[in-house]
Amino acid sequence: MTLTHTTATAEDVLGEPVSEEVAEAQSAALDRVLALLEADGVNAQLIRRVWIEAKTNGSGVQKRWHPPQLVIYSDGGWRVATVAIGPRSGAYTVELAQVGPDNQPLPDRIEVVPAGKAHRVARLITQNKTYQHGRLREAPRVIPGGRAS
């Protein structure tokens, strides 16, 4: 099968636009996780996106809010995890970066945490196998027979 590289649209990258109220509620939920992570000394950044479109004919300005994301970084600048809020459920979606031998990137591990459980999200990130004290760590190698090295 041949893979085709396509250019991502704004909705692919930013998510579908949401109302200002929804964006603020999602930001508040991510702020709770951010506070817990910062208390543990974790590098994290809450990213909020607003598109402002001004009409050339002077008819006004249109604003579009996109879902916020919380991005967690290692001390070296590598992305360790990304946290977003599910558009319908309000649950936290946690994408944990995974690395293999020689820090080869592997597909993210995705976990869903119920809404209102910010402490679980923070614990999941800090206990992620690849994140230890702000550094990415190689995932354990599995030896035939089921043991990890």
Query: Global pTM?
Result: 0.74
pLDDT tens column, 77-131: 888 899 999 988 899 999 998 887 777 888 889 999 999 999 999 999 988 755 5
- Count of residues making up the chain: 149
Q: Residue 53: which pLDDT band, with cuts at 50, 70 and 90? A: confident
Residue 99 has a CB neighbour count (10 Å cut-off) of 17
Does the structure show a pLDDT above 70 at 14? no
| Mean pLDDT, rounded, for 65-70 | 92
CB 125 within 8 A of CB 81: yes
CB 69 within 8 A of CB 84: yes
Joined together, the tokens standing for residue 101 give 């031998």
Does the structure show a pLDDT above 90 at 145? no
pLDDT of res. 148: 46
